[in-house]
Amino acid sequence: MTTKIKIIGFTGSLRVKSYNMAALRAAAELLPNGSTMEIVDLAPIPFFNEDVEAEGVPQVVVDFKEKLATANAILIATPEYNYSIPPVLKNALDWASRGTNLPLSGKPLAIMSASPGMLGGARVQYHLRQVCVRLDLQVLNNPEVFITGANTKFDRDGTLIDDFTRISITKLLIALVNKTQEQNKTN
Ligand X SMILES: Cc1cc2nc3c(=O)[nH]c(=O)nc-3n(C[C@H](O)[C@H](O)[C@H](O)COP(=O)(O)O)c2cc1C
Binding site for ligand X (CB under 6 A): 13, 15, 18-20, 79-83, 114-117, 119, 121
- Antiparallel, parallel or unpaired: β 5-11 and 35-39: parallel
9-20: burial string, b at 16+ Cβ within 10 Å, e else: bbbbbeeeebbb
At its nearest, how many Å lie between ligand X and the CB of residue 85? 11
For ligand X, the closer of residues 95 and 146 by Cβ is 146
Closest distance to ligand X from the beta carbon of 89 (Å)? 11
Residue closer to ligand X, measured from CB, 5 or 8: 8
Q: Which is nearer to ligand X, 19 or 64 (CB)?
A: 19
Closest approach, Cβ 17 to ligand X, in A, equals 7
Q: How far is the CB of 162 from ligand X (least distance, A)?
A: 15
Scored b (16 or more CB within 10 A) or e, 94-109 reads ebbbeeeebbbeebbb
Closest Cα partner for 140 from 156, 155, 129? Answer: 129
Main-chain phi, psi angles of 147, to 5 degrees: -90, 95
Minimum CB separation of residue 126 from ligand X in Å reads 12
Between 48 and 81, whose beta carbon lies closer to ligand X?
81
Say which amino acid occupies 106: G
**CB nearer to ligand X: pick between 22 and 73:** 22
Q: Give the Å distances, CA to CA, from 37 to 120, 132, 184.
A: 23, 21, 18
Give the nearer residue to ligand X in terms of CB position, either 31 or 114.
Answer: 114
What phi and psi, each to the nearest 5 degrees, are found at residue 81?
-110, 115
Q: Which of 5, 1, 74 lies closest to 40, judged by CA? A: 74
Q: How far is the CB of 106 from ligand X (least distance, A)?
A: 28
H helices of the chain, in order, are: 19-29, 50-55, 59-70, 87-96, 122-135, 163-186
